[in-house]
Structure 1
Amino acid sequence: MDYDSVVNLSKDSLVEIQWWVNNVSEKNGKLIRPCPVQLWIQTDSSLSGWGAFCPDLDLLCNGRWSILESNYHINYLELLANFMSLKFIG
């Protein structure tokens, strides 16, 4: 191989290299690709309670919301169900 030879890059390659030049400081130290999933948890919530299942560990957990919690928006309860399942499994 002749490492001193001139290499002509395609237009797509030049665009890609330019993106890296413009963004390397922003991405420096961060993963380019996400880590593979290590654990899968399925959760669901309603206005009365929540449930979660982790097939990898064969774990099932659930609970009922308090009267105060049941008044929260369903989106909040969905996130809270995720939090509760992580506390249970973790």
Structure 2
Amino acid sequence: MARTAYLPPVKKQEIFEKDGFQKSKNDTGSAESQIALFTYRINHLTQHLKINRKDHATRLGLLKLVGKRRRLLDYLIKTDIERYRAIIKALGIRK
């Protein structure tokens, strides 16, 4: 039985292009692109956990994602504060 993708490639591309997080057409590795994708996934898992309160495996995955996003944001603060401020403003997240 084929498993459907949680996040199809078309949707990922849409997330990357939404607020201009991509530096080029095939850019999926920049900090901004990854933070945008992590934010989408964090929001998705948060909604899932509101319905399924006892799903501890998903909760652990959510906490790991939040940590990864935090580390990327810390990297941006150290390297380029303007990029950090832009991504925070575009995604509506804060420290």
Please indicate, yes or no, whether the TM-score normalized by the shorter chain is above 0.5: no
Greater percentage in helix = 2
Normalised by the length of structure 1, the TM-score is: 0.24
Normalised by the length of structure 2, the TM-score is: 0.23
